Structure 1
Amino acid sequence: MDRSDRGRDETREERLDRKWADLLQELRVMQTGTQLLAGFLLTLPFQETFWERLDRYQHGVYLALVVVALVTTLLVTTPIAVHRRITGQHVKERLVTSGQRTMQGVLACIGLMVGLLSFFIFDVVAGPWAGVAAAVVLSALAAVLLAVVPRRLADGAGR
C-alpha cells in the first residue's frame, strides 16, 4: 500500500483526494472575495459622478484593475472547469498539480489587485504620491503575507 511519508496513514489516492478537497476550500474563500471586489468595481462606472471625476490616467488604472479582477475570477474557477472536463479519467495527481499552479496565479493576481486598488483609491482621494505610497506599502505587505510567510512556514515544517 502506498503510504504518505508525512505522518498520515493514507494511500496515495486518499492523499490526492484530501489535497483536492483542501484546494477546493481555499478556492471557495478566494472566489468569494474576488467576485465581491469584481462586482463592486463593475458597478462604479454607473455611478453618476464616478467617471467624470477621473482623469484619463485614472481611467486607465481603473480599467487595468477591472481586467486583473476579471482574470483573477477566471483563474479561481479554472480548476473547477478542468475537474469537470477530466473527472473519471484517473488523473487526480495532474488535477491537483494543475490546481496548485493555478492557485499561485490567483495569489499573484490578488497581490496585484491589492496594489492596484490601493493605488487607485489613494490616487483619487489623496493624490498620486499618496497612491504610490499606498501601493508600495500594501504590495509589499501582500508579497510578505501571500508569498514569504507561506514559504518560511513550509521551509520550517521539515525541521
Structure 2
Amino acid sequence: MNDRHASARPAPGPRSDRGRHESTEERADRQWQELMQEIRVAQTGVQILFGFLLTVAFTQQFQGLSHTDRSIYIGTVVLGSLATGALIGPVAFHRIVSGRRIKPEAVIWAARLTFTGLVLLLATFTSALVLVLRVATSGAVVPILVGGVVAWYLLCWFALPLWARERHTDEK
C-alpha cells in the first residue's frame, strides 16, 4: 500500500504529539467537512446577490442607467457568476474525484477554489455597492463609502484571520 494512503498511522507533523491524532485520510475527511460548512455560508450570500443581479436588467429603472452604470452592472454580473462558479466548484470537484483516493489533494484544490471564490465575492460586493451607491446618491460620497466597506471586508475576511494565524500558530 502506498504510504500516502496508510490510514492506521497518525499524520506526521509537529503537532502529532498533542492535539488531534488522525491519519492523513481522517484529517482530509475532517478538513473536507469543515470546508463544506464554510462554503455553505459563502454560497448563500453569493447566490442571493447573484439572483438579485440577474433580475435587475428586467426592471424599468435599468433602462435609465447611464452607459457607465450599465458597464458596472455587466461587470458585477460577470464577477458574481465567477464567484458562484468558484464556490460551487468544490462540490463538482469532489463528485468527479470521489472514490479515487485523493481526498487530501481534493481538499487542497477545494480550498483554493473557495479562497478564489471569496476574492471574487469581495469584488462582486464591491462592484454592486459602487453601482447601487452611484444610483442612490449624488456620487461624491461613493468612493468614501465603498472604500470604508471594502476596508471592513478586508479586515474581517483577511487581515484578522491572518493576524490570528500568525499570532496563535505554533512555531513550525
Under a length normalisation based on structure 1, what TM-score does the superposition of the two structures give?
0.93
Q: Highest CA radius of gyration, 1 or 2?
A: 2
Q: How many residues align?
A: 158
Is residue 139 of structure 1 aligned with residue 150 of structure 2?
Answer: yes
Match of 2:55 in 1: 43
Distance 1:45 1:52 in 2: 8
Match of 1:13 in 2: 25
Under a length normalisation based on structure 2, what TM-score does the superposition of the two structures give?
0.86
- The answer as to whether partners of 1:72 and 1:110 remain within 8 angstroms in 2 is yes
One-letter amino acid matched to 2:66: D
Unaligned runs of 5+ residues in structure 2 are 1-8
Match of 1:32 in 2: 44
**Higher deviation after alignment, 109-118 or 64-73:** 109-118
Match of 1:83 in 2: 94
- The answer as to whether partners of 1:30 and 1:76 remain within 8 angstroms in 2 is yes
Match of 2:123 in 1: 112
- The answer as to whether partners of 1:120 and 1:131 remain within 8 angstroms in 2 is no
Runs of 4+ aligned residues of structure 1 deviating over 6 Å after TM superposition are none
Match of 1:101 in 2: 112
- The answer as to whether partners of 1:38 and 1:70 remain within 8 angstroms in 2 is yes
Distance 2:69 2:139 in 1: 10
SS at match of 1:2: coil
- The answer as to whether partners of 1:31 and 1:73 remain within 8 angstroms in 2 is yes
- The answer as to whether partners of 1:83 and 1:95 remain within 8 angstroms in 2 is yes
SS at match of 1:46: coil
- The answer as to whether partners of 1:76 and 1:106 remain within 8 angstroms in 2 is yes
Distance 2:138 2:67 in 1: 14
What is the deviation of 1:97?
Answer: 0.5
Backbone CA RMSD of aligned residues: 1.4
What is the deviation of 1:21?
Answer: 0.5
Match of 2:3 in 1: none
Pick aligned residue for 1:128 from 116, 134, 139: 139
Q: Indicate the structure with greater helix content.
A: 1
One-letter amino acid matched to 2:133: F
Distance 1:92 1:58 in 2: 44
- The answer as to whether partners of 1:72 and 1:106 remain within 8 angstroms in 2 is yes
- The answer as to whether partners of 2:87 and 2:117 remain within 8 angstroms in 1 is yes
